[in-house]
Amino acid sequence: MPQLNPEFFISQLFWLILTFSFLLFFLWKISLPRISSVLEKRDNKINNDVNTAKKMQAEAEEIQKQIEDQLKKAKDETSDQIKGAIQNIQAKSLEELSNLDKILNKKIEDSGLAIEKNKNNSLEQINSQIFEVTKLTLNKISTLNIDDKEIKNSIEKMKSKVAN
């Protein structure tokens, strides 16, 4: 094998040093700077993306907090409006009930007065009819002429006895 032949060692060493020197120079001056610049760009991009994500997360948390505050405020306002509406409705219903009570009490009072008036009228009619019946009966039964005042007094006495 020619690679192991000692007479080619010097030439092989020369080419080995030359090739590795060229490779070292190529990597050092061309490839490694490009690779390091790509790595730096990636690093910068990742850092920028992380910073942007943190900013967006902070903004999202702030927006979420604002939304929660607005929801709480809206809920409180709605609750207050509902309470106000309930109180307003209760006040109106109490007023309506009061008016209805007044109207019903007036109607009851009017009805009571009408009943009392009708009762008194009926009693007067009954008394006048009793008077007439008594007068006619006495005139038919007896020939005595009895005064109307006496008949009325007798009827009043009988009414007071019946009432007691």
Residue 63: inside a domain, yes or no?
Answer: no
Model confidence pLDDT, tens digit, residues 43-102: 999 999 999 999 999 999 999 999 999 999 999 999 999 999 999 999 999 999 999 999
Task: Give whole-number Cα distances, 20 to 12, 16, 24, 27, 148, in Å.
Answer: 12, 6, 6, 10, 164
Residue 91, H or E segment: helix 32-141
The phi, psi pair for 16, rounded to 5°, reads: -65, -45
Residue 142: inside a domain, yes or no?
Answer: no
Spatial distance between the Cα atoms of 60 and 17, rounded to a whole number of angstroms: 60
Residue 83: inside a domain, yes or no?
Answer: no
Residue 130: inside a domain, yes or no?
Answer: no
Cα-trace Rg, the chain: 62
Residue 26: inside a domain, yes or no?
Answer: yes
Range(s) of the domain holding residue 26:
11-44
Residue 143: inside a domain, yes or no?
Answer: no
* Residue linked to tokens 């809920």: 75
Spatial distance between the Cα atoms of 42 and 105, rounded to a whole number of angstroms: 92
Residue 20: inside a domain, yes or no?
Answer: yes
> How high is the pLDDT of residue 159?
77
When divided into structural domains, the chain yields a total of 1
